[in-house]
Amino acid sequence: MKRVIEKTVRWILTGSGFVTSVVILLIIGFLFTEGAGLFGEPVIEEGYVLAVNGENPVKEMSAEEIKAVFDEDITNWKELGGPDLAIETFRLEDADEYFTEEELGPQYGNAGAAIAALVASRPGMVAFVPELMIPEESGLNFIEDRNISPGEVLGGREWFPTATPSPLFGILPLLAGTLWVSLFAILFALPFGISIAVYMSEVASGKVRGFLKPVIELLNGIPSVVYGFFGLVVIVPMLQQVFGLPVGESGLAGSIVLAIMALPTIVTVAEDAMRNCPRTLREASLALGATKWQTIYKVVIPSSMSGIASGVVLGIGRAVGETMAVLMVTGNAAVIPSSILEPLRTIPATIAAELGEAPAGGAHYQSLFLLGVILFFITFAINLCVEYISSRNRAKNN
């Protein structure tokens, strides 16, 4: 009987470990396949073409150029290597301005032919229309379409996922925003966190610790939206006044909120590690004549380094992946920040804000998954660093 129970327990334990690993691998696999799908999407919206007059020699346009043309920032074909000719843009929404209902015909049967004729009659026009609408043998040229390349995504500096005709998926501003805000969050949280941990484990009396520890752990239980609101209503106006900023929503506001959120993790884990420092080590140090302070920084902190490091990495992990609080206080402007006092946009905030309305399976949807992959790699790299630090420490201690 006993053996049966033992066997079952063993099976359950093995099984749960196995299931967890498989689930994690499945999630990662899903993330990667969806994210990689972005590079199979065309630059111009699926099913649409950019039609130009048959005499127009321009054959290729980058996504940035297409956006600039339709935003009327580029207004002449010579800027794109064509003739000196003003650019006219045409979208389907403009059909009412050019044609009457009769010209479009019942059920819009003639719309394609009418638009093709319009483009053929205007040498400077570029039309953004569904591929199926343009009749064959229309004599029009089409701007060559190709797939979105990894270079323009990973090296792109503009994030316009809903721009038509060609969305821009440059992730540099989002990546820079995430790293920037997390870096400052850790710079704020680290000294505070470690000193609170040292105070609680070495200096504070049992009574003070008994009060302080639950209070700090309570910070962990506050929902992140609440931190976000606190940041938006208190920290943002405060920063605006202190630094005389035109706008208070900034990377700094985000880092402060994140630092507060990461504190409890850092404090709890680091304090536990220090308290687990063997009594014999402390006593040996004190017996050798070291002062209490010398014992703390020569013996206790080095011996609990791996615990402190894992507390820090958990804190960084929280900062990098935090969504809601950051969404509310950083202003979410997708520009590469040049200082911490500027608004910025982070990867998790982007995913949270945009995934809800991105059509499933489309380029925008896949680009958000790609952002998830990048976030995964960031945390992965941080974890590797910590493994390295703590293994080196273990080796030294031994």
Instruction: Give φ, ψ of 200 to 5 degrees.
Output: -70, -35
Radius of gyration for the chain, computed over Cα atoms and rounded to the nearest angstrom: 29
Q: Which long-range contacts (CB under 8 A, 24 or more apart) does 202-209 make?
A: 202/274, 202/292, 202/296, 202/300
Chain residues in the site for other proteins (CB under 8 A)? 67, 70-72, 91-93, 95, 101, 106-109, 111, 130, 133, 158-164, 173, 232-233, 236-237, 240, 246-249, 327-328, 331-335, 343, 345, 353-354, 356-359
| Shortest reach from residue 120's CB to other proteins, in Å | 20
| CB nearer to other proteins: pick between 95 and 183 | 95
| Shortest reach from residue 280's CB to other proteins, in Å | 54
CA distance 385 to 219: 27
| Shortest reach from residue 322's CB to other proteins, in Å | 14
| CB nearer to other proteins: pick between 70 and 369 | 70
User: What is the C-alpha end-to-end distance of the chain, expressed in Å?
Assistant: 44
| Shortest reach from residue 326's CB to other proteins, in Å | 11
CA distance 195 to 136: 74
CA distance 163 to 168: 7
Burial class (CB in 10 A: 0-12, 13-18, 19+), 62: middle
| Shortest reach from residue 65's CB to other proteins, in Å | 14
| CB nearer to other proteins: pick between 35 and 248 | 248
Instruction: Give φ, ψ of 46 to 5 degrees.
Output: -55, 135
Sorted by sequence, the CB contacts under 8 Å of residue 316 that are 6+ apart come out as 182, 186, 262, 382
| CB nearer to other proteins: pick between 306 and 323 | 323
Query: Ramachandran region of residue 288, left (φ > 0), alpha (ψ -120 to 50) or beta?
Result: alpha
The total number of residues written for the chain in this structure: 398
| Shortest reach from residue 287's CB to other proteins, in Å | 59
| CB nearer to other proteins: pick between 318 and 345 | 345
- The three-state secondary structure class of 110 is coil
With beta carbons less than 8 A apart as the criterion, state whether 304 and 394 touch.
no
| Shortest reach from residue 92's CB to other proteins, in Å | 4
| CB nearer to other proteins: pick between 216 and 334 | 334
Q: Quote the distance between the C-alpha of residue 61 and its chain's center.
A: 28
| Shortest reach from residue 48's CB to other proteins, in Å | 9
With beta carbons less than 8 A apart as the criterion, state whether 239 and 253 touch.
yes
| CB nearer to other proteins: pick between 95 and 222 | 95
| CB nearer to other proteins: pick between 303 and 367 | 367
